[in-house]
Chain A
Amino acid sequence: MSKLEMIERGNAAREKVNAEIVPALLEAFKEKAELIAPTNDLIPQVFVTPGALLDVALWLKDRGFNVLVDVAGADYYPRREPRFEVIYHFRQFPALGMIRVRVRCRELDQPSTLSHIWPMADAPEREVYDQFGVKFKDHPEMKRILNPDDWEGHPLRRDYPLRGPRALISLEMPAEQNRFAAFVDEADATTEGK
Chain B
Amino acid sequence: MAQTFETHNQDNMTLSIGPHHPATHGVLRVILELNGETIIKATPETGFLHTGIEKQAENLTWNQATAVVDRMDYLNSIGNNVGYCLAVEKLLGITDRIPERATVARVILMELQRLTSHLVYIGTGGLDLGAMTPFFWAFDLREQILDIFEEVTGQRMNPSYMRVGGLAHDLPDHFKEIVTNFLKVAPGKMQDLRNLILGNPIFIDRTRNVAKISQEKALALGLTGHNLRITGCDYDVRKHYPYCGYENYDFKVPVRQNGDLFDRIAIRFDEVDESLKIIKQGLDNLPDGDHIINDRKLVLPPKHEVRESMEALIHHFKLVQQGFDVPQGEVYQFMESPRGELGFYVISDGGNKPVRMRVRGPAFYATYALKELLVGHYVGDMAGIIAGVDPVFGEVDR
Contacts and interface: CB of A to CB of B under 8 A. Distances in A.
Interface stretch (B48-56, B103-111, B131-139, B276-284): B48-56
A72 B358 contact: yes
A159 to B, nearest CB: 12
A146 B50 contact: yes
A69 to B, nearest CB: 7
Contacts of A96: 240-241
Contact of A76 (B329, B355, B368): B355
B347 A145 contact: no
A4 B10 CA distance: 61
Nearest to B224: A69
B331 interface: yes
Interface in A73-124: 73-76, 79, 87, 89, 93-94, 96, 100, 118-120, 122-124
Interface residues of A, number: 44
Given A6-B240, A162-B56, A72 B345 contact: yes
A178 interface: no
Contact of B47 (A6, A94, A119, A148): A148
A41 B333 contact: yes
B331 A39 contact: yes
Contact of B360 (A43, A70, A75, A158): A70
B57 to A, nearest CB: 11
B18 interface: no
A173 interface: no
B331 to A, nearest CB: 5
Q: Which of B222, B247, B329 lies at the interface centre, i.e. has the most chain A CB atoms within 10 A of its CB? A: B222
Nearest to A87: B345
B100 interface: no
A89 B333 CA distance: 11
Q: Which of B91, B329, B332 lies at the interface centre, i.e. has the most chain A CB atoms within 10 A of its CB? A: B332
Contacts of B365: 120, 123
A67 interface: yes
Contact of A146 (B93, B358, B369, B398): B398
Nearest to B52: A155
Given A4-B247, A147-B50, A10 B219 contact: no
B212 interface: no
Interface string B236-271: 000111100001100000000000000000000000
B368 A6 contact: no
Nearest to A128: B358
A69 B341 contact: yes
Interface of A, helix, strand, loop or mixed by DSSP: loop
Contact of A123 (B345, B368, B398): B368
Interface string B324-347: 000001111110000001010101
Contacts of A122: 368
A120 B347 contact: no
A67 B330 CA distance: 21
A156 B50 contact: no
B330 A120 contact: no
Interface in A34-68: 39-41, 43, 66-68
Given A3-B248, A72-B345, A146-B47, A41 B222 contact: no
A17 B218 CA distance: 25
B235 interface: yes
A125 B319 CA distance: 37
B345 A70 contact: yes
Contacts of A100: 332
B247 A7 contact: yes
A187 to B, nearest CB: 27
Interface string A127-170: 00001000000000000111111000001101010100000000
Contacts of A120: 220-222, 365, 368-369
B332 A41 contact: yes
Nearest to B249: A3
Q: Which of B54, B90, B341 lies at the interface centre, i.e. has the most chain A CB atoms within 10 A of its CB? A: B54
Nearest to A77: B355
Contacts of B84: none
A89 B344 CA distance: 12
Nearest to B396: A146
Contacts of B358: 70, 72-74, 87
A156 B55 contact: yes
A147 B47 contact: yes
A40 B345 contact: no
B239 A6 contact: yes
A94 B398 CA distance: 30
A67 B333 contact: no
Contact of B235 (A43, A75, A89, A93): A93
Q: Which of B90, B93, B248, B345 lies at the interface centre, i.e. has the most chain A CB atoms within 10 A of its CB? A: B345
Interface of B: 1, 46-47, 50, 52, 54-56, 58-59, 90-91, 93, 95, 219-222, 235, 239-242, 247-248, 329-334, 341, 343, 345, 347, 349, 355-356, 358, 360, 364-365, 368-369, 372, 397-398
27 contacts: A3-B248, A10-B240, A39-B331, A40-B90, A40-B331, A41-B90, A68-B222, A69-B343, A70-B343, A70-B360, A72-B358, A74-B356, A76-B355, A89-B343, A93-B235, A96-B240, A118-B220, A120-B221, A120-B222, A120-B365, A120-B368, A131-B54, A145-B46, A145-B47, A148-B47, A155-B55, A156-B356
Q: Which 3 A-B pairs have the closest CB atoms?
A: A120-B222, A72-B358, A39-B329
